[in-house]
Amino acid sequence: KAGVTQTPRYLIKTRGQQVTLSCSPISGHRSVSWYQQTPGQGLQFLFEYFSETQRNKGNFPGRFSGRQFSNSRSEMNVSTLELGDSALYLCASSWPLGQKNTEAFFGQGTRLTVV
């Protein structure tokens, strides 16, 4: 069974640009969550999607947005990039169809560097 796949793995962007990151969850998982990980702040929750609906959102500015498609794949977008957006962005999938929700499975992440 394939794991969570995130693309691209590495990305370098310039301040002011926008970026789109992609996440393909484990087959059958309905929930996708996004996290930003930085050395000082740890893993910070961005948002969670379930069946194409955003169910919860963390404390991030509106420049951070996301969506989920009917096949559960998800994208997150960051507009008007700032230097402080440099981080590892992790996607996690959970909630297999017909099963009790337990742990989340993480992808390898996208390392975004803003210069």
Partner 1 sequence: GQNIDQPTEMTATEGAIVQINCTYQTSGFNGLFWYQQHAGEAPTFLSYNVLDGLEEKGRFSSFLSRSKGYSYLLLKELQMKDSASYLCAVRDPLALIFGKGTTLSVSS
Q: Does 99 bind partner 1 (CB under 8 A)?
A: no
**Options 22, 65, 86, 108; binder of partner 1; rule CB under 8 A:** 108
Residue 3 half-sphere exposure, CB side, CA atoms within 13 Å?
A: 10
- Residue 92 near partner 1 by CB under 8 A: yes
Binding of partner 1 by 66 (CB under 8 A):
no
CB of 41 to partner 1, least distance (A): 7
Q: And the tokens for 95? A: 């909630």
Position 25 contacts partner 1 (CB under 8 A): no
Question: Applying CB under 8 A, what is the total number of residues that bind partner 1?
Answer: 23
Q: Which of 51, 56, 77, 80 contacts partner 1 by CB under 8 A?
A: 56
Output the DSSP codes for 64-106: EEEEE-TTS-EEEEE-S--GGG-EEEEEEEEEETTS-----EE
Nearer to partner 1, 2 or 14 (CB): 2
d(CA 88, CA 113): 9
Determine, following the binding rule CB under 8 A, whether residue 43 of this chain makes contact with partner 1.
yes
SS3 assignment, position 107? coil
Residue 26, number of CB atoms within 10 A of its CB: 18
**Residues in the site for partner 1, rule: CB under 8 A?**
4, 33, 35, 41-45, 48, 50, 55-56, 58, 90, 92, 102-109
